[in-house]
Structure 1
Amino acid sequence: MTYTTVLPIWNATRGRFQKTVEGLPEQDLKLQLGKSTIASLIHHTAEVEYMFAEWFFCKSKSEEIAKPCFTNLAELVDLLSASNEYLLEAMIELPDEDWHKSMESPIGASTPLEAVGRLMYHTGIHAGQISLIQKNGQAK
């Protein structure tokens, strides 16, 4: 399994998340349930994509990732788009034979293929949390 096999699956999952975020009312970014706000979940999702690009696809970001304003939907959408593009660039650069090689990371060993599966799961979890916060959260 390589980039061309993984790409449609990734795009289906990640594209749906992106559309959900793009369709949020900006005032919902402040909604909170427990310690999580919708804005913080969006930011966290982008951060994890950058981390996985580094940990499992050996693509290091040379500059600091700008922290967006957590009340500005356009900035959060831009960050999410940038992290996805960065991850896709990292995936396409990985040689086919490396997709099944286990790599050590701060969260344990995984192959790049397993890492993409973990990212899909991660994105789905946060999509569900955003929906839950919209239904039950309080304005921060």
Structure 2
Amino acid sequence: MTYSTVLPIWNAIRERFHKTANALPEQDLSLQLGTTSIGSLLHHTAEVEYMFAQWFFGKAMPEDGIPKPALTNKDELVEFLEASNERILQAMKELPEENWHKSMESPIGASTPLEAVGRLMYHTGIHAGQISLIQKNGNTVE
């Protein structure tokens, strides 16, 4: 029940974020405010999904580690986002129903897998807003 309940909400948020990433002009990936670039936000979003899949859903990291796409290559970043989404979706699907509400310790504190999905949704939304802000106010740093 939990996976089937969470899935439509997750998909709505994640598909919107993916659409945003796909629509970005590649030159915008290097726009930044302070030390944060749009490319780094896309990478970070996917990286966190890999970490949450491990921490809260027991999905082991890939044997060769988390991919490291170029932060200025849109195709690589979009592919990385697709892979991280597939990984977290698979991890959620494989989690037994009785474990969705069990608190787990992680490097960011205790949380249930259900709470972790909520945190991921919030995290994605925050970075979507930052991307929009950087597009409006960011600078290209050579």
TM range (shorter): over 0.9
What is the SS of the residue equivalent to 2:32? strand
What is the SS of the residue equivalent to 2:108? coil
Counterpart in the other structure of 2:109: 108
Question: Using the alignment, how far apart are the partners of 2:70 and 2:103 within structure 1?
Answer: 37
Counterpart check, 1:68 vs 2:69:
yes
What is the SS of the residue equivalent to 1:63? coil
Question: Using the alignment, how far apart are the partners of 2:10 and 2:72 within structure 1?
Answer: 28
Deviates more, 1:129-138 or 1:1-10: 1-10
Question: Using the alignment, how far apart are the partners of 2:73 and 2:44 within structure 1?
Answer: 15
Letter paired with 2:40 = S
1:18-97 alignment, distance < 5 Å: 18-61=18-61, 62-97=63-98
What TM-score do you get using the length of structure 1 for normalisation?
0.98
| Ranges of 4+ aligned residues in structure 1 off by more than 3 Å | none
Aligned residues: 140
Question: Using the alignment, how far apart are the partners of 2:22 and 2:136 within structure 1?
Answer: 18
What is the SS of the residue equivalent to 1:32? strand
CA deviations 1:24-82 (Å, max 9, x no partner) are: 00000000001100000000000000000000000012221221111110000000000
Matched-pair identity in %: 74
What TM-score do you get using the length of structure 2 for normalisation?
0.97
Gaps of 5+ in 1: none
